[in-house]
Amino acid sequence: MSIKYLGEHFDLHTGGVDNIFPHHEDEIAQSEGFSGQQFVNYWIHAQHLLADGQKMAKSTGNAYTCAEIEARGFDPMALRYFYTTALYRSRLNFTFRALQAAQTSLDRLRALAYRLVTESDNE
């Protein structure tokens, strides 16, 4: 599928750390065997998102949709902000307490941006 949409060679391929072996190694062998050239320049493998200390997954019932997050009164941008608080190679532990902290930080950031814009408009 990747060759169909991206060509026989592309720069960046991403996935979870659990896909390194055997999935991505098999993908390299199959693609390079087919094309005869290097498949991907750079691989980025991210850690799993945790929920209350356990791997988040629908099968364990600890995954949340954006609609569920919003129904609890959180701004979806707070969730995006929360995701940016960890490096992609480190595990991020989702809790509603951590999401509330992200919401508070985002609100402060927005207030600062508003003050900067309105004060610069007054000068």
Q: What is the pLDDT of residue 118?
A: 92
The mean pLDDT value for 28-56 works out to 95
Question: What 3 state SS string does 11-79 have?
Answer: EEEEEEHHHHHHHHHHHHHHHHHHHCCCCEEEEEEECCEEECCEECCHHHCCCCCHHHHHHCCCCHHHH
Q: How confident is the model at residue 29 (pLDDT cuts 50, 70, 90)?
A: very high
Q: What is the pLDDT of residue 1?
A: 84
The mean pLDDT value for 51-66 works out to 93
Q: What is the pLDDT of residue 121?
A: 77
d(CA 37, CA 28): 10
The mean pLDDT value for 104-113 works out to 98
Q: What is the pLDDT of residue 122?
A: 75
